[in-house]
Structure 1
Amino acid sequence: MVTALRVLQQDNWDEWYDNLIRAFGGAPESAEERALWRELTERDRSIGAWDGDRCVGTAGAFSFRLTVPGGAAVPAAGVTMVSVAATHRRRGLLTGMMRRQLDDVRSWGEPLAVLTASEPVIYGRFGYGTATHHVNAEIDTTRVRLTVPPGTDAVRLRYAKPADALDACEAVYAQLVPRRPGMVARIPGWEQLWLLDPESERDGASPLQCVLAERDGEVVGFVRFRIKGDWEAAGPKGTVVVSDLEALDAPAHAALWRFLFDLDLTSRIDARRRPLDEPWLHLVSDVRRCSLLVRDSLHLRLVDVGGALEARTYQAPVDVVFEVEDAFCPWNAGRWRLTGDAKGASCDRTTDAADLALSVRELGAAYLGGVSLAALGAAGLVREVRQGALAEAAVGFGSAVAPWLPHGF
């Protein structure tokens, strides 16, 4: 029987992490990857469930800052490394860890909790809604052509060793974080994740390569990728496996994608976890031959409804009273009046009549502007009490760019 939930201690990390690895199938990680995750684990924000002297459950929370509509970087607990030993299922262990964790997040004064789910079905019952999506693409570069905008030819590309280019790449990423909701400011040490390159995890592809995009001597974009060679009777059919690609403007973005399209001995680009509104989608000659697959990405929970709704701005004026249902975090339940616009917002308790009724899960899904409140209303998940309130709120909650989480955690 589980006897305790305890904050993770340094001496217990190996057993704690071994329980996590076993819960996700048991495939061993490289020594360098394990060492980096040991370093990145925030032990005072991580808990373990112990049955006697055995670790049977894990959960952690990184101290992230998440970009929200309006550009603010809001404190958010990055829920991670959640596992329950197969021997201890169906005993309420996960519920107990989620209860403890959300209580902790509230005590830390963080209005949001976010996660990426191994299985989307798990976290809805704890109030998490799917707030961002991404697209995976497999582009047939023998059949698809790319049209580039003016200025693309002025961008200079050059190869660089990934380690040597790391600071330049991180500087580009940092400039992009405030521009798009859902992006996470890098915690010191996290940049090292992009240099992990054990041969055992390349699936037959090359070592990691990096190309920088420059204009007037300044780095304005980069791509990190691998080449997976393959041949058939007719000739080469290698794949470009994109690790990540970021650019500060349209010409730099197009120059990097054109480079990937033109790589010798390849006939396909495999790009995963890309934004739903990425510009290259409008530059290709045949989007059907890009084999697009949309997937859920960031799951978000409002830990403090008032604080979270005040932290973002709204693209059109809103004045709406929400009746919020939140059985798991009852301090959020009840009526809240949100008043806001593009300059700021306030959100306070009220006894006024409700305009919209919904659960905290739907509020989390709509929070970053990527999921429409109107769409949730059409699904029967948001109830309109005052006629017209749903359309008004849906416009205000929207985002000019699709929210996007560039990487998992």
Structure 2
Amino acid sequence: MTTDLRVLRRADWDEWYGKLELAFGGVAESPEEQALWSDLTEHDRSLGAWDGDECVGTAGAFTFRITVPGGAAVQVAGVTMVSVASTHRRRGVLTSMMRRQLDDVRSWGEPLAVLTASEPAIYGRFGYGIATQQLRAEIDTARVRLSVPDGTDDVRLRLVQPDAPDVREACEAVYARQVPARPGMLERRPGWERLPLLDPESDRKGGSPLQCVLARRDGDVVGYARYVNKPDWDAAGPKGTVELRDLEAVDPAAYAALWRHLFDIDLTSKVKMYNRPVDDAWQHLVSDNRRCAVAPRDSLHVRLVDVGAALEARTYQAPVDVVFDVADPFCPWNEGRWRLTGDAKGASCARTSDAADLSLSVRELGAAYLGGVSLASLAAAGRVRELRHGALAETSLGFGSVVAPWLPHGF
């Protein structure tokens, strides 16, 4: 490879981002979206591959803290904006960027790297495992009814301007309360509160401006929903669609009140969602799940950059005492045997010469890390090998999570 790989300079951002847009189809984003990503880009954590004066590859890494099982917030590199020019395929550009990036993440002392993939087949060879799924659904609200819990009628709802400073602050406070309770959620650093409010007119495609409803009880904000209304009609009458962007609530009654609002919007007959947890509770409130067109899709891909530090950072819902024999040819510092000892209070993980109980690659550890993919299911696919009888069941139970891990928004 003859390309030059270097840290992104501020003066090069426009060309760098333009090449990213070209790689993703060549349709320029709205000025509002470009401005947001320009502000959020961490230049010293971003890379460009250059062939002379031409940018032919891009990659970045946001600074995040992610919730892991047990509730701790762990420093993580949010890998983003990865592209290679179509003229420079099969020249090692992507591999060189992944190599440099993981070396950098290790030098920054961050035990994990995470990403969402435009094509999920790309990143397994670099040690990333699919750790979370997101739920998509289209609910036929003309036929499906909700059964809500006691206390729902005590919640008061109010339509508000989504970008009003006090509304934005109230929504962020509700979101922040949810983060420690679910693995995979990201603490929102300053500036990231703008992402869910992004609403360029050019992207609406017949939909309304972004709507927001706040849920209150005794004067306190206890939840919110942000959505778009897409009106439609045929000879039989109205058949509009409510497209849910995001919804958070601090208790079941507030949660149910928000969903009931979405179901009751006039002139609509569908509620669509594109990213909800796979264990989202509305599935237990609806009268007919078959009319909800539920479908999962891969979401967060996780890569253990430092096996020992990553496994120590989370807790385990049942006691574990296991020796992993880890294969990691792309990051060889992780290869070898590691003894993990942990429970719900904490964990330790260190190198050992003891005999291995389970054999697997770092990709499987990444898939299982947040508790949404069981080691037992990976073993059934031949991805994990049990070397000590009973070790698989014990460890798989310990790695689980009471709630499904979920990434609430992309990056």
* TM-score category, normalised to shorter length: over 0.9
Residue in 2 aligned with 1:32?
A: 32
Residue in 1 aligned with 2:410?
A: 408
1:28 Cα offset (Å):
1.1
SS in 2 for 1:97: helix
Structure 2 counterpart of 1:378, one-letter code = A
What does the per-residue CA deviation read over 1:169-201, in whole Å, with 9 as the maximum and x for residues that have no partner? Answer: 001000100000000000110111122211111
State the distance in 2 between where 1:313 and 1:44 align.
32
Counterparts of 1:336-351 in structure 2, within 5 Å, are: 336-351=338-353
SS in 1 for 2:159: strand
Structure 2 counterpart of 1:61, one-letter code = A
SS in 1 for 2:315: coil
Structure 2 counterpart of 1:311, one-letter code = A
Residue in 1 aligned with 2:237?
A: 235
State the distance in 2 between where 1:360 and 1:201 align.
39
Counterparts of 1:104-123 in structure 2, within 5 Å, are: 104-123=104-123
Residue in 2 aligned with 1:159?
A: 159
Q: Are residue 285 (structure 1) and residue 277 (structure 2) matched? A: no
State the distance in 1 between where 2:197 and 2:340 align.
43
TM-score after normalising by structure 2:
0.99
Q: Is the 8 A contact 1:2 1:49 kept in 2?
A: no
Residue in 2 aligned with 1:199?
A: 201
Q: Is the 8 A contact 1:317 1:339 kept in 2?
A: yes
State the distance in 2 between where 1:401 and 1:173 align.
16
TM-score after normalising by structure 1:
0.99
**Structure 1 moving runs of 4+ over 6 Å:** none
What does the per-residue CA deviation read over 1:346-384, in whole Å, with 9 as the maximum and x for residues that have no partner? Answer: 000000000000000000000000000011011111000
1:272 Cα offset (Å):
1.1
Residue in 2 aligned with 1:368?
A: 370
Residue in 2 aligned with 1:396?
A: 398
Counterparts of 1:197-346 in structure 2, within 5 Å, are: 197-346=199-348
The sequence identity of aligned pairs, in percent, is 74
Residue in 2 aligned with 1:13?
A: 13
Q: Is the 8 A contact 1:2 1:52 kept in 2?
A: no
Structure 1 unaligned segments of length 5 or more: list them: none
Alignment partner of 2:174 out of 155, 172, 175: 172
State the distance in 2 between where 1:219 and 1:374 align.
41
What does the per-residue CA deviation read over 1:333-355, in whole Å, with 9 as the maximum and x for residues that have no partner? Answer: 00000000000000000000000
Residue in 1 aligned with 2:46?
A: 46
SS in 2 for 1:61: strand
Structure 1 counterpart of 2:102, one-letter code = L
State the distance in 1 between where 2:254 and 2:235 align.
36
Structure 1 counterpart of 2:48, one-letter code = G
Residue in 1 aligned with 2:73?
A: 73
1:41 Cα offset (Å):
0.1
State the distance in 1 between where 2:9 and 2:79 align.
18
What does the per-residue CA deviation read over 1:246-280, in whole Å, with 9 as the maximum and x for residues that have no partner? Answer: 11111111000000001100000011110011111
State the distance in 1 between where 2:382 and 2:32 align.
48
Residue in 2 aligned with 1:181?
A: 183
Q: Is the 8 A contact 1:76 1:112 kept in 2?
A: yes
State the distance in 2 between where 1:398 and 1:52 align.
49
SS in 1 for 2:371: coil
Residue in 2 aligned with 1:102?
A: 102
SS in 1 for 2:75: strand
Q: Is the 8 A contact 1:56 1:85 kept in 2?
A: yes
Structure 2 counterpart of 1:24, one-letter code = F
State the distance in 1 between where 2:15 and 2:209 align.
31
State the distance in 2 between where 1:379 and 1:29 align.
40
State the distance in 2 between where 1:341 and 1:34 align.
45
State the distance in 2 between where 1:392 and 1:3 align.
48
What does the per-residue CA deviation read over 1:39-77, in whole Å, with 9 as the maximum and x for residues that have no partner? Answer: 000000000000001100000000000100000000000
Q: Is the 8 A contact 1:57 1:85 kept in 2?
A: yes
State the distance in 1 between where 2:61 and 2:29 align.
21
RMSD: 0.6
State the distance in 2 between where 1:383 and 1:148 align.
45
Structure 1 counterpart of 2:175, one-letter code = Y
State the distance in 2 between where 1:196 and 1:389 align.
47
What does the per-residue CA deviation read over 1:9-51, in whole Å, with 9 as the maximum and x for residues that have no partner? Answer: 0000000000000000011111111111100000000000000
Q: Is the 8 A contact 1:151 1:251 kept in 2?
A: yes
The number of aligned residues is 409
1:2 Cα offset (Å):
3.6
Structure 2 counterpart of 1:387, one-letter code = H
State the distance in 2 between where 1:236 and 1:351 align.
69
